[in-house]
Amino acid sequence: MFQSLRRWPAALLAAPVLLCLASGRARAQTFDEALEQCQAVTTPAALTTCAATQDPLKGGGAVISDEGDVTVTVFGGATNTSYAITFASNAIPPQTTTLGSLMTDANGNGHFRKDAFFKFGTVGAGNVVLTSTAGEEFVTGLTVSTVGFGTRRDFQPGLVRCTDVTVPGTLSGCGSDSLNSGRVDVEEDDGATLIHVSGARPSTSYTALFVSPSGTSVTLGTVGPTNKAGSATLLVGTPNPELPLNTIASGEIVLQSSSTNEFMSGFKVDQKFVRPKVGASTLEPCGSITDPVLTNCGSDPLDTGSFKVEAGGQIIVTLKGASPSTNYEAWFRPIDDSADQDTGIALPTDANGDAKSTGKFFTSNEVASGTIVVKHTADDFDQFLGGYETH
């Protein structure tokens, strides 16, 4: 979308941009920003709380969804290192909410995910901060490319009402203007900027500031005056005088009316949490399956059986009336018929041929397609597979 900012005047772009912002995804007041090295930040001002010796960082970012999910990723950080994750306000001293911790592997990569961390109705404003034992290492913000094409994520926080913020703490000195939704988008490849508000106070202009934790700020432009519906859009093409190439920035976007803070970058949890999908199926004896006819079948009996994949990646397998006192194991067979994957879930049956076992196999945010196959631990014959029986 922002490539066009370099070719046509803003007036010609207003209609399509607003049309894009009217989509469901654009209305969501989510938080999505890259991670930056603390000492690398220079805009609106250098940060003063950084670790003396900075850990490396190749990339990463933080996302807070409109369902309250929190995701933080680090690529190319210090190896085998633990980082405490907080959400910090721009207040002095900063207010903080602890999100959790992230452990990197031997490559310096790490991932943190917590579904529905923030509950429905939560409104937050601030930045995600990763801290090691030495001090602050990484903060959310933005990098404008040095070469004019994108290699990292864009800067895309939502806008929320200052007076509604409760995380990490309430704010003082806020105005009372209305806001249905708001969004910021700074393109990483060239610094082109869009700030949009909807349902704000009609016939009002807002000064858009990029404010550092120290209070230092730069003015990005004016949003408005708003129309009768309280909507207005600021478009800043390239070169962006405040966010030129090679800028590394961190802080908050603040919209002021008559020098009073009305809106600021953050997130709003306005969607009820929806649990991830799960998979479940009955298990059928391999030799009884007729569509298709299978060839690598064992001959063990089975009265009933089932498996269930839970939202957290756990697999629950149940057998009733299989061979008594027999050691079975569950495998995952991908739909592309590639090699079976051992789930590590052992199913030793009792004297009645019954067994039930649970094990974690799938990772977070994984989408898989295939079935569960149960075999003896001592051979490779398929005994029971996910399927269905009609009558």
List Cβ neighbours of 340 (8 Å cut-off, separation of 6 or more). 331, 332, 333, 373
Point out the domain boundary residue: 268, 303, 322.
268
Region 135-148 average pLDDT: 91
Region 21-28 average pLDDT: 44
The pLDDT-based confidence of 390 (bands split at 50, 70, 90) is confident
Q: Comparing 4-13, 102-111, 344-353, which segment has the lowest mean pLDDT?
A: 4-13
Sign of the CA dihedral with 73 first, then 75, 76, and 80 last:
positive
Host domain of residue 149 = 2-268
Q: Residue type at 51?
A: A
The pLDDT-based confidence of 52 (bands split at 50, 70, 90) is very high
Residue 72 lies in a domain: yes
Same domain, 321 and 182: no
Rounded to the nearest 10°, the torsion over CA 204, 207, 213, 214 is: -120
* Rounded Cα distance, 384 and 349, in Å: 14
Residue 273 lies in a domain: no
Same domain, 54 and 190: yes
Q: Which CATH number characterizes residue 310's domain?
A: 2.60.40
More confident of the two residues 250 and 153: 250
Point out the domain boundary residue: 217, 243, 268.
268
Task: Give the chain's count of helices (H) and strands (E).
Answer: 2, 26
What DSSP string runs through 211-263?
E-TTS-EEEEEEE----TTS-EEEEE-SS-SSS-TT-EE-SEEEEEETTEEEE
The pLDDT-based confidence of 364 (bands split at 50, 70, 90) is confident
Same domain, 222 and 287: no
* Rounded Cα distance, 44 and 90, in Å: 13
- For residue 23, pLDDT beyond 60: no
- pLDDT value at residue 167: 97
The pLDDT-based confidence of 311 (bands split at 50, 70, 90) is confident
Domains held by the chain: number: 2
- For residue 8, pLDDT beyond 60: no
- pLDDT value at residue 185: 95
- For residue 375, pLDDT beyond 50: yes
Same domain, 33 and 77: yes
Average pLDDT of the chain, as a whole number: 89
Same domain, 312 and 219: no
pLDDT digit string, tens, across residues 258-298: 999 999 999 999 988 777 677 889 999 998 888 888 889 99
**Whether the bond into 292 is cis, omega within 30 of 0:** yes
Per-residue tokens: 286:
């391999």
Per-residue tokens: 235:
């478009």
More confident of the two residues 214 and 84: 84
- Per-residue exposure over 123-154, b if at least 16 CB sit within 10 Å of its own CB, e if not: bbbbbbbbbbeeebbbbbbbbbbeeeeeebbb
Same domain, 106 and 247: yes
- For residue 21, pLDDT beyond 50: no
Instruction: Give pTM, 2 decimals.
Output: 0.70
Region 170-178 average pLDDT: 95
Same domain, 112 and 11: yes
Whole-Å CA distances, 7 to 11, 87, 362: 12, 38, 46
The pLDDT-based confidence of 120 (bands split at 50, 70, 90) is very high
- The 8-class DSSP code of residue 174 comes to B
Residue 181 lies in a domain: yes
Residue 330 lies in a domain: yes
- For residue 41, pLDDT beyond 50: yes
* Rounded Cα distance, 342 and 361, in Å: 9
Same domain, 61 and 176: yes
Same domain, 367 and 256: no
- pLDDT value at residue 11: 34
- pLDDT value at residue 148: 66
Considering the chain, what percentage of its residues have pLDDT values greater than 90?
74
Same domain, 187 and 237: yes
The pLDDT-based confidence of 391 (bands split at 50, 70, 90) is low
- For residue 130, pLDDT beyond 90: yes
Gyration radius of the chain's alpha carbons: 27
Residue 130 lies in a domain: yes
Farthest CA pair distance, the chain = 80
Same domain, 257 and 298: no
List Cβ neighbours of 209 (8 Å cut-off, separation of 6 or more). 217, 218, 219, 220, 253, 254, 255, 256
The pLDDT-based confidence of 363 (bands split at 50, 70, 90) is confident
* Dihedrals phi, psi of 2, to nearest 5 degrees: -80, -15
Which DSSP helix (H) or strand (E) runs through 358?
A: strand 355-360
Whole-Å CA distances, 292 to 288, 380, 391: 10, 19, 17
Same domain, 217 and 365: no
Residue 180 lies in a domain: yes
- For residue 306, pLDDT beyond 90: yes
Residue 274 lies in a domain: no
Sign of the CA dihedral with 2 first, then 37, 242, and 63 last:
positive
- pLDDT value at residue 173: 92
Per-residue tokens: 360:
């974690």
Residue 246 lies in a domain: yes
Point out the domain boundary residue: 226, 249, 268.
268
- pLDDT value at residue 69: 92
